[in-house]
Amino acid sequence: MTVRPLVIKFGGTSVGGGAQFSRAATITAGAARSRPVTVVVSAMSGTTDTLLGVAEDVAYATDGRTSYGATSEGSIAELHRTLSERHLAAARAAVAPQHLPAVEERLRALLKSLVETLAEPYENPAARRARVAVYGERLSAEILAGAVSTSGVPAAVVAEDPIATDDAFDEAEVDAAGTASRCSRLVAPLLESGSVVVVPGYVGRSPQGAPTTLGRGGSDLSATALGRALGSEEVWIMSDVDGVLDADPRLVPDANLMPRLSYREASLFASLGAKVLHPKTMEPAAEAGIEVLVRNTFNPECAGTRVTEQETGPGVRCVALRRRFAVGLPCAPGHEREAAALVGIGTPNQRDLKRGLKSLRRADLSPLHAGIATAGLVFVVGADAAETALRALHEDLVTPAATLAPESGVVA
């Protein structure tokens, strides 16, 4: 392929209803004007939780009754009803009349197959969980393909899951070589025919051909794994925030957008809990040198966060909070089980450590441990002080993006 395909991933919050599917389709169609596009799509927000919840209720039912007293058949019928209503309503809002009957037919077929799957006997609980969980992404992929076609660009859902994995069903490892070969068979020909290819995120195939999942939040990893397999230069992760912010915005309301991050910094932040990215997202990207742009579906003018190989320079870029941190750091006796760790990620030095200690003192906190580790600047505090410490360190320690020189990565 001469022009390298762009991979765009839409998370569950980006496909929460019909209007959101239309918005995602418009972004996709716009990008598809200048290059081949593969879209990775998550389940509509909340769907995976619902699917896994019902799978568990039915699995633990005794004498055909779930712990809520409902019959297993009743729970499955209720799931069918709510998923039908939600997905058919989204399809009707986002898909034009000429494409709608085909989309509705596929949604109904998927929902029927889900009901059969839930009623089937099984031996391996993890394999069954994966078999059920993947329906969320399969359903939303059909709607998005219909919505993209509606905006005038041909689109098709890939015929089989292109991501090859091992058989760790709940959190499978991507098999890079297997994925490359499946992509050249299943995705590349469709792209060459001029179609946008829609791929259900989170989903893989075991060596035996059974459905697997990449772990919760795994659609981000689907996107970079596909990007690596397809030779992409860029992957866009579209979410409901402007990009990667320098602290969890749910805990730090004045968290700021980070325009740039290195693969190392983004991986650390994600593995320490920055929910916006699945912890393994950067592995395929770093291996293949793919630029990852984390952007906002609802604010597409914002450039978002660009993640590349380039380090961002000295100082602390962002602060992660890791609760229930008990990995043998030299804490005061008795605190090991109830401590929280704050990690300042970037390239911190002794001066940053002193600033952090001063900041905690000002907030009337004395850390159980403070030091520079491989992950960054680590402060361990009692669990009760976690959020106060996070806000104090965010305020005093993070070098705002505005003071970073645009390309050099050097603090101005």
Q: Residues interacting with ligand ADP, by CB under 6 A?
A: 11-14, 42, 217, 239-241, 244-245, 248-250, 274-276
Q: Nearest distance from residue 40's CB to ligand ASP, in Å?
A: 9
Q: How is residue 331 annotated by DSSP?
A: P
* DSSP state for residue 172 in the 8-state scheme: P
Could you please report the per-residue DSSP string of 388-405?
A: HHHHHHHHHHBPPGGGB-
Nearer to Mg ion by Cβ, of 178 and 217: the residue is 217
* Closest CB to ligand ADP among residues 51, 368: 51
Q: How far is the CB of 222 from ligand ASP (least distance, A)?
A: 8
Least Å distance, CB 237 to ligand ADP, is 7
Residue 217 CB, nearest distance to ligand ADP (Å)? 5
Which lies closer to ligand ASP via its Cβ, residue 214 or residue 342?
214
Of all residues in this chain, which one has the CB nearest to ligand ASP in the complex?
219
Q: Is 59 exposed, middle or buried (0-12, 13-18, 19+ CB in 10 A)?
A: middle
CB of 121 to ligand ASP, least distance (A): 26
Gap between the terminal Cα atoms of the chain: 41
How many Å apart are CA 33 and CA 146, to the nearest integer? 17
Encode 134-161: b = buried (16+ Cβ within 10 Å), e = exposed.
bbbbbbbbbbbbbbbbbbebebebbeeb
341: partner contacted, choices Mg ion, ligand ASP, ligand ADP, none (Cβ within 5-8 A by kind): none
Our finding on whether 243 is near Mg ion (CB under 5 A) is: no
- For residue 296, give the 3-state DSSP assignment: strand
**Cβ contact 91:101 at 8 Å:** no
In angstroms, rounded to a whole number, what is the distance separating the alpha carbons of residues 45 and 325?
A: 29
Look-up: residue for tokens 């709940």? 170
CA distances from 179 to 102, 215, 220, 274, 292 (A): 29, 17, 15, 27, 19
**Is 7 or 274 the residue whose CB approaches ligand ADP more closely?**
274
Binding of ligand ASP by 16 (CB under 6 A): no
Can you state the percent helix, strand and coil of the chain, rounding each to 5? 45, 20, 35
Kindly state the DSSP code that residue 241 receives in the 8-state scheme: S
Among ligand ASP, ligand ADP, Mg ion, none, what binds residue 14 when CB lies within 5 to 8 Å by partner kind? ligand ADP
CB 297 within 8 A of CB 23: yes
Minimum Å gap between C-beta 133 and ligand ASP is 7
Q: Which of residues 33-52 bind ligand ASP (CB under 6 A)?
A: 42-43, 48
The yes or no reply on residue 313 touching ligand ASP (CB under 6 A) is no
Radius of gyration of the chain (CA): 23
Q: What is the nearest approach in angstroms of Mg ion to the Cβ of residue 240?
A: 10
Residue linked to tokens 């970037």: 346
C-beta of 175 vs 246, nearer to ligand ADP: 246
Binding mask 47-86 for ligand ASP (x = CB under 6 A): -x--------------------------------------
Q: Looking up tokens 């219909």, which residue turns up?
A: 146
> Least distance (Å) from Mg ion to the CB of residue 217?
4
367 binds Mg ion (CB under 5 A): no
Which residues, 216 to 235, sit near Mg ion by CB under 5 A? 217
Total residues in contact with Mg ion, by rule CB under 5 A = 2
Q: Does 165 bind ligand ASP (CB under 6 A)?
A: no
Neighbours of 167 (CB within 10 A): 17
- What distances in angstroms separate CA 65 from CA 59, 78, 92, 131, 384, one per listed residue? 10, 14, 35, 22, 40
Q: Is 297 in the site for ligand ASP (CB under 6 A)?
A: no
C-beta closer to ligand ADP: residue 38 or 149: 38
- Nearest approach, Cβ of 171 to ligand ASP (angstroms)? 11
Annotate each residue in 198-237 with x if it binds ligand ASP (CB under 6 A) or - if it does not, as one string: ---xx-------------xxxx------------------
**Helix, strand, or coil (residue 147):** helix
Instruction: In whole angstroms, give the CA distance from residue 293 to residue 305.
Output: 6
Chain contacts with ligand ASP (rule: CB under 6 A): 11-12, 42-43, 48, 136, 201-202, 216-219
Chain contacts with Mg ion (rule: CB under 5 A): 11, 217
